[in-house]
Amino acid sequence: MSLSYEFSIGSVRAKEKSLLSSSDLEQMIGMKNEAELVRFLKDKGFGDGNTIDEVISSNTEKMWKYIKSIAPDEEIFSTFYLQNDIHNLKTLLKAIMADREYRDLMMYPVSIDIKVLVNAVENGKFDKLPDWLSDAAQKAYKLLAQTNDARLSDAVIDRAAINKMLEEGKRSRSEYLNSYFESIAFYSNVKIAIRAARTNTNAEYLQTALCDLEGFDKKTVIDKALTGTDNLIKYLETLNTCDCKKAVAAFKENPGEFEKFIDNRLISLAKKMCKLKCEGPEPLLGYYTACEYERKAVHIISGGIVTHTPTDKIRERLRDIYG
């Protein structure tokens, strides 16, 4: 029997009640060690395992199993697999070409079978990969082989992935997905440009790494980045796209606040466009986003506990959550 969105949305609304709350996060911040945090998360039904990494991995697996079981159209989630596909390809390029082990570094779920990626890299032939990735993978392979420039090689693949996300966002006819991927692409460009300005990166890298976007003048950004961070920041302060002015203000406070602002903007999109919807795929997409940010919160808290970071500092680093 085919599933309906009416059933799926009802299921998701009930499932949302088991997401971690602000009070849960506050309780976690005060824990003394990783073992205590692991016990708490297992008791909450977050995931299984003996370490935080194992618990988070278990949580991810459970999330995808649940989503696949209730989604009328699983294809709507396929674009989110791209991040794992791209991670796997970049990892395989470096590992296989350096004759290093890679099996434990692979991420799931995927839309491109690992064996297909391995065969492509081992033989230096990428025609069996999806059309959106094959040319970029071939170029990245040659760059790595000829110049050993891993950053430029990665940039070629990352740009292909961003372009694919933008394409799929438009094709999905989901206002949320379109806005989400446009924000991802815009801030990917901004972060690349700022990093390049701070490290005196050349124009070739910027031309390769930056994708073409509405509301983002690529030529001007490159020109400003090549003259230093101050000039670039002054220009970015004039942009209204994706709340760029506010993001730059956060960056001027400190880079950590900049990253936090971007994450908070993305979760706010989900809360605004998915949380109260009563039809279509958005409530399911919102639940997926909620789970992603839940795991991010666990990462931040566990990292703070392991490094004995003061609780107020951990609290400052936390992003907003869906609940």
Per-residue confidence (pLDDT) for residue 74, from 0 to 100? 86
Which residues make Cβ contacts (< 8 Å) with residue 75, sequence separation at least 6? none
Distance from the Cα of residue 88 to its chain's centroid: 14
Mean pLDDT, rounded, for 169-181: 93
Per-residue confidence (pLDDT) for residue 2, from 0 to 100? 61
189-229: pLDDT as tens digits: 999 999 999 998 999 999 999 999 988 999 999 999 999 99
**Residue from 173, 167, 226, 234 nearest 201 by CA:** 226
pLDDT at 91 over 60: yes
CATH of 1-73+281-308, one of 1.10.132, 1.25.40, 3.20.20, 3.30.70: 1.10.132
pLDDT at 115 over 60: yes
Mean pLDDT, rounded, for 270-288: 94
Mean pLDDT, rounded, for 57-79: 93
Per-residue confidence (pLDDT) for residue 215, from 0 to 100? 87
Q: For residue 216, which phi and psi values (nearest 5 degrees)?
A: -135, 105
pLDDT at 237 over 60: yes
Q: Where are the domains of the chain?
A: 1-73+281-308
Q: Tell me the pLDDT of the chain averaged across its residues.
A: 95
**Residue from 146, 144, 141, 148 nearest 122 by CA:** 141
CB-neighbour burial class of residue 69 (10 A; exposed 0-12, middle 13-18, buried 19+): exposed
pLDDT at 170 over 90: yes
Confidence of residue 251 (pLDDT cuts 50, 70, 90): very high
CB-neighbour burial class of residue 3 (10 A; exposed 0-12, middle 13-18, buried 19+): middle
Per-residue confidence (pLDDT) for residue 95, from 0 to 100? 96
Distance from the Cα of residue 97 to its chain's centroid: 26
SS (H, E, C) the chain: CCCCHHHHHHHHHHHHCCCCCHHHHHHHHCCCCHHHHHHHHHHCCCCCCCCHHHHHHHHHHHHHHHHHHHCCCHHHHHHHHHHHHHHHHHHHHHHHHCCCCCHHHCCCCCCCCHHHHHHHHHHCCCCCCCHHHHHHHHHHHHHHHHHCCHHHHHHHHHHHHHHHHHHHHHHHCCHHHHHHHHHHHHHHHHHHHHHHHHCCCCHHHHHHHCCCECCECHHHHHHHHHCCHHHHHHHHCCCCHHHHHHHHHHHHHCHHHHHHHHHHHHHHHHHHHCCCCCCCCHHHHHHHHHHHHHHHHHHHHHHHHHCCCCHHHHHHHCCCCCC
pTM of the model: 0.91
Per-residue confidence (pLDDT) for residue 4, from 0 to 100? 86
Confidence of residue 173 (pLDDT cuts 50, 70, 90): confident
Per-residue confidence (pLDDT) for residue 1, from 0 to 100? 44
Task: Give the span between the Cα atoms of 175 and 171, in whole angstroms.
Answer: 10
pLDDT at 22 over 80: yes
Mean pLDDT, rounded, for 281-286: 96
218: tokens are 């690529």
Per-residue confidence (pLDDT) for residue 151, from 0 to 100? 93
